[in-house]
Amino acid sequence: MKAITSFTDSVGLFAKTYHYLQKSKHPEASVEDLKLQWAQDMLSRLRVDLKVSGKVSEQKSLLFLGNHVSYLDIPLLMSTVRGLSFVAKKEVGSWPIIGSAAKKIETVFVKRESGSSRQLARQSIQEALTKGQRIAIFPSGTTCMHEKKSWRRGAFEIAHEKNLFFQPFRITYLPLRAAAYIDDDFLPSHLYNLFGLDRIHAKLEFHEPVQIKDPVVDCEYWQNWTKDFVTASQN
């Protein structure tokens, strides 16, 4: 019975996301309100208890930079930060339902192996910030529990060149491995297993906005800041 329930709940997430997409097509629909409702709905359905610490800045033209553990990071941030868009790998744009939803919230897609695409992504990010958008970037470029590779410095270089503020954030979960979407995890089976859990405890912490003085040094510093949080939360 529990297996059937988990399967039904997993399918229900996609059906509900499609429902929100359809609502967003209405001429009078508020995409921002729907984003918030969707995020809260997803966290509730997945039984995620979220604890937020730190104050989210209301400043526009702001970058949010932090670690990336799971696709759960998206509704966590969207439920907390109004007016937020994301940077994601190009493949996400072709995912059924999820891809359409990502486009609706003005996600900036980047083709990882292409230098020209990354340059176009940087330009798109700069243009979005100029228009007052708030953009979340995961400098790791992919999901991971314990980061071993250095963060990419592109977002830090943008903030430095344009003299922009960014707000660091860090995320962790308990149980960490169950929530993390890494290695050869397959989305349908991963969701199925998540619904088999009683609760997922998530922590999301925001640092006050800061400016970049040295992209290389600051990139390493803030990556270590997020790593320390994940490690301490598991002890």
Q: What is the pLDDT of residues 118-177, one digit of tens each?
A: 677 788 888 888 888 899 999 998 899 999 899 999 999 999 998 999 999 999 999 999
The tokens describing 151, both together, are 């963060």
pLDDT cut 90: percent of the chain above it: 61
123: left (phi over 0), alpha (psi -120 to 50) or beta: alpha
Q: What is the DSSP letter of 203?
A: E
Separation CA 207–CA 222 (nearest Å): 10
| Angstrom distances, CA of residue 186 to CA of 141, 182, 196 | 18, 9, 16
Alpha helices by DSSP H, listed for the chain, are 2-24, 31-45, 73-78, 98-104, 115-130, 154-161, 176-179, 187-194, 215-233
The pLDDT value given to residue 96? 80
Give the mean pLDDT of 96-120. 77
Residue 20 predicted with pLDDT over 50:
yes
Q: Are 169 and 55 in contact (CB under 8 A)?
A: no
Q: Are 139 and 219 in contact (CB under 8 A)?
A: yes
User: Residue holding tokens 């996400």?
Assistant: 92
196 vs 121, higher pLDDT: 196
User: Residue holding tokens 């400043």?
Assistant: 59
- CA–centroid distance for 98 within its chain: 13
Flag the least confident range among 9-23, 64-78, 99-113, 220-234: 99-113
Separation CA 16–CA 22 (nearest Å): 10
131 burial class (0-12, 13-18, 19+ CB within 10 angstroms)? exposed
Separation CA 51–CA 138 (nearest Å): 20
Separation CA 196–CA 76 (nearest Å): 20
Q: Buried b / exposed e across 70-100, counting CB within 10 Å, b at 16+?
A: bbbbbbbbbbbbebbbbbbeeebeeeeebbe
Q: Does 188 sit behind a cis peptide bond, omega within 30 degrees of 0 on the bond before it?
A: no
The pLDDT value given to residue 2? 46
The tokens describing 71, both together, are 């696709």
